[in-house]
Chain A
């Protein structure tokens, strides 16, 4: 027995309870065929699972202490996966799981033949998990994630009938509003976290901070108000009725819209200290109540009427959370519970009536109760609870609401009593429509037993709740205390002749008058919500603005895009320059500068020719000059490795460019030259100024100093540049040669294999060139080996050696030596590429085998000879680069001819 109870306690681990709906969702998602074949069985199984979860949680609500369960997630950002279970959140969880079970049973019966039943069940399961996550999260960011999850899933649920345009439109409206609210909520959480230093809800609630950031309070209120559809964001909720009936029942009763008021009530004990909290929430709540009642009294569609009462109830709950006193929070829980337990069966009953009679119009449903007795009884009980008739839970909700409001301000309580009269009038309308006598409706559909049962369960639960509250034992007292109500509080049905009771009696009298008065005007058309129109106009104008901006910025011309990007970068850099903060430029005009008198003008002339030239030959020559002169600059500025690399790369670039330009036709240009010139000159001036600015700064370079000081002693190489490439920063080089290998494959994909099979053109060559180029390669070979070998200690290394070898092979291709056929080149380049990658990878992995970290250099010493894995790495680099170059040379060489 003890072991069993231990087992039970483990089962109640809320993490498991969070996982259960998720698992059912996965099951329905992965076995859709099974679900479709056994729709009723699935419904029963889901109900049993969900009810079991609810029962397990029910045992938890009498506990006073809160439990925390936490694992770190992103500790640097204050994000952890932590759950918090108090008596209140356990009770809320019971409601969610219980109603979730009813709704899934209903859905299985309602959509028994629908092909998308499995996806509906999946969405409902995921939605339950997200909702449980919202109420159980202890971490604000985790709460936000679940919060967004409910928004997204409710979008999919409301838009379930995705073949209807109205359904899609209303679902996206709900999504837009709740997502904007979610963003606002996140911003509020971040500010709150930043100023109070904690992202844990339990820590936040454990004390009253000295100062609350106003921005955070406003943003959080806005987020909660969008979710709970409070004025001025109230219009999305009635529109969201386009969702299937079980979805509406779930969204309106225990989930989705309740997340907003849940957050308000949870934070109320702390945030109600802020001067904006109470006025904003009570005003918004009251406006929601009034506007929804005006609408509800006119509507004739049963679901629309119910949606309006949901809005009104949410308004009342917002008012209670806004008042935020212990008495108000006491009322909050009973109101929330009562609402969940009458709204779900009412929505489900509306679905039953529609299934049976084919209509939801109140005027066409006379005598419905007599033909559908169980549903009729449920509607009766639930409506009595809705209008707050003793002893149903709704009565308690209304009494405690009026009590809290009276304590806050008697005048305000009177306004709420008036609103309660409106709710009563709506309730009477529903009751009279369903109870009155009338002819049997034309359509006679079948209501499956699953739907009836699912409708009946919550109504029975409401009656059971009455019993539990009437028994001694303070049912829900701990829940209220854990939310912030006074300790030891409990719910009583009779307090004597209090102002609240008198007001609610007055409201009943008033509502009877309203009902009588409204009898004739029921058929008047439902006015469209003005907010709806405003919202649509707003979205439409946003879309038009977007179109205009795109038309302006993206006219399909590359030049426009480039100019815009350049202009933007230029403007930003210009304002960031702060010219007045500059130090004087170092104009050290020494004898060494003399070389620039010759070099710079040449480079400028070559660059200008390259910019203006139209003929391929002039382009090649001028570009070659530019590259060559820059190599000279590198050499001058103590970078011999760069100079060598640049020379070799330039040679190969010219080779490829010659091949590409030879066959490319020029197109007529329409761009104005003056415009190009202005952009170019401005860009040039900007870059010049930026470089001068950069040069006035003397950097501290700890990284370079480390490289310089460790190069010889730790990496056994005198040439620091090469040591950086193959040892200190070998990971970068590794990535780079992989990129090269991918680029080589890209060329093969783009140019295709056809080129390798094409016959060589028959051209006569001078035998001198053909023999000479072969000789050149023979002479080059020792030079290549030597340059590769000396790389670690003197200018040279794998990159330069590979480019040199490629240049030699390029010469041979130009001379068209018979050996260098395309298949030979293809074979060799692939071999080199693969061998290079394998060798490089081996060099990086070898240290792992020796128990050292990845890429550590392993060395073998013999006198002044040092051999190590960096040398192997360099060999791999050599082969990869050579293979890459050969691959491109083979694609381009025939075009050169």
Chain B
């Protein structure tokens, strides 16, 4: 299943770059949205992908049976920060001269 994820991310990056190079301001914002989605997936994938192994632990956990929680925590903050940056970019888009 890794190959699917890799190809998906690759296509997200490609679409993001295509849009980013479009040459107008909206293009840059859409391109950045797509790229940041891809980046979140890359961080998650770099920690190793596991199905049905959410990091909800008991008192004495078997460490190898859980997905890596650290990339997840990083991506969670990245999603929120990405949202914040996007919101700020959109205000700039609204305020910038046409």
| A interface with B by C-beta (< 8 Å) | 558-559, 562-563, 566, 585-590, 592-593, 596, 600, 603-604, 607-608, 610-612, 619, 623, 626-627, 630, 633-634, 636-642, 645-646, 649, 652-653, 656-657, 659-661, 663-667, 669-671, 675-677, 679-681, 683-685, 687-688, 691-692, 694-695, 698-699, 701, 703-705, 707-709, 711-713, 718-721, 724-725, 729, 732-733, 736, 739-740, 743, 746-747, 750-751, 793-795, 799, 803, 881, 884, 888, 891-892, 895
Contacts and interface: CB of A to CB of B under 8 A. Distances in A.
A708 B63 contact: yes
A638 B80 contact: no
B9 to A, nearest CB: 6
A573 to B, nearest CB: 12
What are the nearest 5 A-B pairs in CB distance?
A684-B14, A688-B10, A611-B15, A680-B18, A638-B67
Interface string B17-42: 11111111110111001100110111
B64 to A, nearest CB: 9
Contacts of A671: 21-23
Given A747-B87, A751-B94, A637 B14 contact: no
Given A626-B34, A704-B69, A793-B56, 10 more contacts: A603-B12, A619-B30, A626-B37, A639-B72, A652-B83, A669-B23, A669-B24, A683-B14, A704-B70, A719-B55
A712 B57 contact: yes
Nearest to A895: B94
Nearest to B53: A638
Contact of A593 (B4, B11, B37, B70): B4
A633 B40 CA distance: 11
Interface centre among A592, A691, A736 (most CB of B within 10 A): A691
Contacts of A892: 90
Given A733-B77, A740-B84, A881-B80, A590 B1 contact: yes
A596 B77 CA distance: 26
A610 B11 CA distance: 12
Contact of B13 (A630, A684, A705): A684
A656 B29 CA distance: 12
Contacts of B10: 684-685, 687-688, 691
B22 to A, nearest CB: 6
A677 B21 CA distance: 9
B13 to A, nearest CB: 4
A707 to B, nearest CB: 6
A891 B91 contact: yes
Interface centre among B55, B67, B90 (most CB of A within 10 A): B55
A660 B93 CA distance: 8
Majority SS of interface residues in chain A?
helix
Interface in B31-79: 33-34, 37-38, 40-42, 44-59, 61, 63, 66-70, 72-73, 75-77, 79
Given A611-B19, A683-B14, A721-B69, A795 B34 contact: no
15 contacts: A608-B15, A610-B19, A630-B37, A630-B41, A637-B44, A660-B29, A676-B21, A680-B18, A683-B13, A695-B49, A711-B57, A725-B77, A743-B87, A795-B54, A881-B80
Nearest to B38: A687
> What bracket does the count of chain B residues touching chain A fall in?
35 or more
Given A585-B2, A590-B1, A607-B34, A740 B80 contact: yes
Nearest to B31: A611
A611 B15 CA distance: 5
A600 B90 CA distance: 29
Contacts of A634: 44
A637 B69 CA distance: 11
Contacts of A667: 23-24
Contacts of A732: 77
Given A587-B3, A636-B51, A881-B80, A708 B61 contact: yes
A691 B9 contact: yes
A645 B54 contact: no
A678 to B, nearest CB: 10
A562 B28 CA distance: 11
Contacts of A704: 47, 68-70
A135 to B, nearest CB: 53
Contacts of B22: 669, 671, 676
B81 A592 contact: no
Contacts of B26: 661, 664, 666
A484 to B, nearest CB: 59
Contact of B73 (A630, A725, A747, A881): A725
B91 A747 contact: yes
B76 to A, nearest CB: 5
B54 to A, nearest CB: 4
Contacts of B73: 721, 724-725, 729
Contact of B90 (A656, A669, A707): A656
Given A712-B58, A713-B59, A642 B44 contact: yes
Contact of A640 (B54, B61, B93): B54
B51 to A, nearest CB: 5
Contact of A633 (B14, B41, B61, B66): B41
B54 A638 contact: yes
A681 B23 contact: no
Contacts of B14: 611, 680-681, 683-685
A799 B28 CA distance: 27
A751 B91 contact: yes
Interface centre among B9, B70, B85 (most CB of A within 10 A): B70
A304 B73 CA distance: 71
Contacts of A743: 84-85, 87-88
Contacts of A636: 51
A589 B4 CA distance: 10
Nearest to A703: B70
B68 A646 contact: no
A611 to B, nearest CB: 4
Contact of A642 (B24, B38, B76, B95): B76
A694 B45 contact: yes
Contacts of B45: 691, 694-695
Nearest to B24: A667
Given A660-B90, A799-B76, A881-B80, A720 B8 contact: no
Contacts of A590: 1
B93 A721 contact: no
A694 B48 CA distance: 9
B13 A687 contact: yes
Nearest to A740: B84
Interface centre among B77, B82, B93 (most CB of A within 10 A): B77
A611 B16 CA distance: 7
B5 A691 contact: yes
